[in-house]
Structure 1
Amino acid sequence: MIFLASLATLAGFQLVVSGPASAATRYEAENATISQGVVEANHLNYSGTGFVNGDNVAGSYTQFTFNAPAAGTATLVLRYANGTGAARTADVAVNGTVVSAGRSFGATADWDTWANSTLTTNVNAGANTLRVTATSAGGNPNLDYLDVTVTVPSTVYQAEDATLSQAAVATNHTGYTGTGFVDYVNTVGGYIEWTINAASAGPATLTLRYANGTTTDRPMDIAVNGTTTGSRAYPATGNWDTWADDTVTANLNAGANTIRATATTAGGGPNVDKLTVTAAPGGDADGGVPSSITTISSGWTIPWGLSWLPDGQTALATERDDKVTAGQFKVFKVTLAGARTQVGTVPNVQTTGGEGGLLGVAVDPGWASNHYVYFFHTASEGNRIVRMTYNGTSLSGYTVLVQGIKKNKYHNGGRLAFGPDGYLYASTGDAQTSSLAQDTTSLNGKILRMKTDGTPAPGNPFGTLVYSYGHRNPQGLAFDRNGRLWEAEFGDSSFDELNLIKPGGNYGWPTCEGTCGVSGMTNPKATWPVSTASPSGIAIVRNVVYMGALRGERLWRIPITGDTENVGAATAYYVGAYGRLRTVVKVPGADQLWLTTTNTDNNGGAANGADKIFRVAIS
């Protein structure tokens, strides 16, 4: 973890005493130390594999052990149920000291209804304990889990104190911090450059506060120590008095570092107020391995796409083709505990009798304000990218954004993912016409990048939707901590690929399958024989790529080497244990994956309803 240098050694910034918090880390009660109680699963809606039911006696307790990246303030959330109708009281102690005496855990209507009890207290760096001890004869409530969120130190660097080029300090708008903000000249190349200090090398989050009172995006390149993290979007904020945050994760060196924000279009950059540098929590260190796997949901038939809502508590999942009820292409919401509810179907979907149907899903990062959800599906004329509105209960408002993507029985691609730049990325297959992959005027055999209305995103290399080309059947898309796009791709008969995608890159198909020496074509970062992979979804946790394998029936672990473009040796997990592994997504705020099977597809041959969703813990 990074500890920023002391105030005495720096100039032009203020130290923020209460910095942003790291994502919550969950500790399941069934893994805690239990005195006079048992783990049960006879009620509904719990997380993990069960909950703790303490004996009805004073003095029974559940003790959690949790880790903090540094000493400081933590928010502790206990999830509990109390179906008795009367409050149950307990002493809550952290590291042996009672921090909440006689804490009341009120009634929750029934034992299937859960509530949160939240307290804030100081914690030590490293291991800590939290003990909930019943203080009355009724014992504790049922306990499901403990969520721990540690406040991480931050340092604010005002834009007006930075080095400026083709930009000036202004004060003619409201809502800024410090003594002013920086207004870019309307030209390409203007920049703000901050010099910041870190006591040790490691990851940090960089949050830039900006305003854009125009109606068009003002993109910028963010460079750390001269290396760009990629072009980032700075869209309209409503007016020049309304400010928004953009956050990127980057590695800093020990000592001095430079952060430069450079305008890349003729409109210049947005107005910039400040840069906040936040040390990454210790749990974000590179590495980790799958440590446990748990079934959280069953009864599925070809679950293909998964996308989390911004609250991190519920995901939307698609079934590619309901073989039980023909023509039903269903969408479900799935809770963290695995409970699923159908929220609708997507109209105009057709199967191809092979790999077509209802495929990828992506929830708009701004769903809370616009309620948009995006789908990739096969239709009568080809494959489409469409948008619908999800109000939390049902889907409506089907709108076609992109057509003209050719379809076939196989090679339809279909993955959707939002990038850290706010744009929607989509993978398309070559529709079993390999020449389309090299045709930059075709939408097939490509990675597409678009605005949320389906039009090309600014900065696309050909001025069209096409972002990269030369792909056979790409299905895995995931962004790393530096905003770089990684992609997994089905090979033909020899090699499957893991690629690092760059704008305008040609990834070789059909000239190359796997690594080759053809000028102008980009080699993959890793390859596998098709018998051990045939990959679909990928996700990244702690700088490690996890790749689901269909024919290979395993989960591949591929570590990224720091912030380089290289990867380390791949390792396989769960070989043959769960069948065809299709989709892999990271669980928000946790070092966990969700992993789906598609054993009920034509290649798997399992009975309808035999597919599952698993949770994989990374530690």
Structure 2
Amino acid sequence: MRRLAAATTALGLAAALAACGGDDEGDAGGSPSSSPSSEGTSAAPDPSGSTSAEPTPSDEPSSEAPSSSAQPDGPPEVVSTVVTGLAAPWGLDFFADGDAIVTERDSRRVLRVSPDGEVTELGVVEEAAPDGGGAENGLLGVALSPDFEQDRWVYLYLTTATDNRVVRARLDGDRLGEPEVLLDGIPNGFIHDGGRLEFGPDGLLYVSTGESGEPSLAPDRDSLGGKVLRLTPEGDPAPGNPFDSPVFSYGHRNVQGLAFDDAGTLWSSEFGQDAFDELNRIEAGGDYGWPAVEGEGGGPQYVDPQQVWPTSDASPSGLAYADGALWMAALQGERLWRVTVDGRRAVDPESFFVGKYGRMRTVAVAPDGTLWVTTSNRDGRGDPADGDDRILQVRP
């Protein structure tokens, strides 16, 4: 099940695009490159390789307590289409009243979307510099402050002409203020820009980054590329980080999904190259192996993934936790994965909606317990249908 990567030298843009059937997120045209598995059936092995010893700083989010509050029961169901006509929605978080804040990658718009489909433009992030044409950069993740009702901070991850960065801006009514830079200098590229933001139960901000098509950045702990970062709300390295820097874990290729379960364990979804996409349990100080290894089985110095998939079945982006399971949106795989959380293991993957809605980008848990899932068929690599892109409301 394990492929050893051939080299640790940086890949040029052409080589990076050649990987994984053309790119991380799937070939233009939007069709999976192999026959999709049936809805509700497992299509991924459960790796049994050992994991490395885990550093245990006092404020690490992981816990030994079982993290499954309920076992999944029956298939998920799309109960409504919240909104249509969006353009490559990427980031999504929720206000307390059930409205969502949504970013569009290429238009650079920040939107407020109500459950009844009303869309309000909150602002345009002019500093964002998407390349378009199937690029993976632009205006990406969004997260509201845990104290949003008091401080009104909106956190954003974006690509500029020179780097990727984390910024925050205050929301005054329906207008987004000027962004304040919290962390810059994250390597950027046409591909592999990461971009997910997630506040943990510890009140700290977790940030996923990609290695921007240069694999040698991933194991380099002095680089911010190919990492999961942990920051204070002001953008400083969080106290207790394993390397006295923003870096929390390293050796990642391109992480676009972060989610905490109800025991405080952090999980991530990660693009592989041409063999295996990964679902990982994130450990403080852990080395996840890229580019030395892809998938599981690389030796005790690396943290093995909890699940792996052929890239044609996944190309995973967004990740969320609800009802005792992780829910992972797949781009090239054009499906929604459900993976049961059993203590500190992720087991029994099942896929749903295969090919029905096209590329799935982001999944988030709404205040009412349903999932909102965005499509990504207008991102330059999909095959848009009438009404794309859309947000689906899913009963888990």
TM-score, with length taken from structure 2: 0.81
Measured at CA, do residues 609 and 409 of structure 1 come closer, stay the same or move farther in structure 2, by a change above 3 Å? farther
Residue of structure 2 aligned with 1:356, choices 137, 150, 164: 137
Kept after mapping to 2: 8 A contact 1:600/1:609: no
Residue of structure 2 equivalent to 1:617? 395
The change in CA–CA distance for 1:542 and 1:391 in structure 2 (over 3 A counts) is same
Higher relative contact order by CA 8 Å / sep ≥ 6: 1 or 2?
2
Q: Aligned in 2, Cα 1:517/1:249: closer, same or farther, shift over 3 Å?
A: closer
Aligned ranges 1:466-505 → 2 under 5 Å: 466-505=247-286
TM-score, normalised by the number of residues in structure 1: 0.53
Alignment of 1:77-226 (within 5 A): none
1:306 alignment counterpart: 92
SS at structure 1 position matched to 2:191: coil
Deviation per CA, 1:411-445: give whole Å up to 9, x if none: 00000010000000110000000000000000000
Matches of 1:530 and 1:366, distance apart in 2: 38
Q: 1:320 aligns with which of 105, 112, 123?
A: 105
Does residue 409 in structure 1 map to residue 190 in structure 2? yes
Say yes or no: does 1:578 pair with 2:357: yes
Query: Match of 1:387, as an amino acid?
Result: R
- Any idea what SS the aligned residue of 2:217 has? helix
Q: What SS does the corresponding residue of 2:367 show, helix, strand or coil?
A: coil
Matched, 1:371 2:152: yes
For 2:288 and 2:300, locate their aligned partners in 1 and report how far apart those are by CA, in whole Å. Answer: 11
Whether the 8 Å contact between 1:506 and 1:520 is mirrored in structure 2 is yes
**Aligned partner of 1:231 among 44, 59, 65:** 59
Q: Which SS does the other structure have where 1:470 is aligned?
A: coil
Q: Matched residue of 2:166: which SS?
A: strand
- Aligned residue identity for 1:595: V
The 1:346–1:568 alpha-carbon spacing in structure 2 relative to 1, beyond 3 Å, is: same
Q: Which sits farther off after the overlay, 369-378 or 336-345?
A: 336-345
Query: Alignment length, in residue pairs?
Result: 337
For residue 241 of structure 2, the aligned residue among 434, 449, 460 is 460
Paired residue for 1:520, among 293, 301, 306?
Answer: 301
1:232 is displaced (CA, Å) by 7.0
Deviation at 1:609, TM superposition (A): 6.0
Aligned pair in 2 of structure 1 residues 486, 356: CA closer, same or farther (>3 Å)? same
The residue type paired with residue 326 of structure 2 is V
C-alpha distance 441-333 of structure 1, shift in aligned 2 (>3 A): same
- Supply the distance in 1 between the matched residues of 2:73 and 2:123 (Cα, whole angstroms): 37
Distance in 2 (CA, whole Å) between partners of 1:304 and 1:536 is 9
Q: Report the equivalent of 2:332.
A: 551
Of 104, 114, 121, the match for 1:342: 121
1:117-162, Cα deviation, whole Å (9 max, x unpaired): xxxxxxxxxxxxxxxxxxxxxxxxxxxxxxxxxxxxxxxxxxxxxx
| Residue number in structure 2 paired with 1:95 | none
Q: Which has the larger radius of gyration?
A: 1
Contact 1:331 1:346 in 2 (8 A): yes
SS at match of 1:435: helix
3-state DSSP class of the match of 2:303? coil
Structure 1 unpaired stretches of 5+? 1-227, 234-247, 253-279, 323-328
Aligned to 1:440: 221
Equivalent in the alignment of 1:112: none
SS in 1 for 2:390: strand
Q: Helix, strand or coil: the match of 1:603?
A: coil
**Residue type at the aligned position of 1:318:** T
How many angstroms apart in 1 are the aligned matches of 2:82 and 2:64?
31
Structure 1 segments of 4+ aligned residues over 4 angstroms from their partners: 248-252
Q: Distance in 2 between matches of 1:419 and 1:458?
A: 14
Rounded to whole Å, the distance in 2 between the matches of 1:249 and 1:443 is 29
Gaps of 5+ in 2: 1-55
Q: Contact conserved, 1:290 with 1:616, CA < 8 A, in 2?
A: no
Instruction: Please state how far the C-alpha of 1:229 moved relative to its aligned partner.
Output: 11
Say which structure is richer in strand. Answer: 1
Q: Distance in 1 between matches of 2:387 and 2:177?
A: 26
2-structure distance, mates of 1:560, 1:312: 28
Within 2, Cα distance between the matches of 1:459 and 1:368?
28
Structure 1 position 230, deviation (Å):
6.7
Residue by residue, what CA displacement relative to the aligned partner does 1:351-375 show, whole Å, maximum 9, x if unpaired?
1330000000000010111100010
Map of 1:268 onto structure 2:
none
| Structure 1: distance between partners of 2:151 and 2:249 | 29
Aligned partners of 1:249, 1:495: CA distance in 2, in Å?
27
C-alpha offsets along residues 66-103 of structure 1, whole Å, 9 cap, x if unaligned? Answer: xxxxxxxxxxxxxxxxxxxxxxxxxxxxxxxxxxxxxx
Cα distance between partner residues in 2 of 1:296 and 1:249: 37
1:291 aligned onto 2:76: yes
Give SS of 2:167's match.
Answer: strand
Structure 2 letter corresponding to 1:231: D
Q: Is 1:587 paired with 2:366? A: yes
Give the aligned residue type for 2:315: S
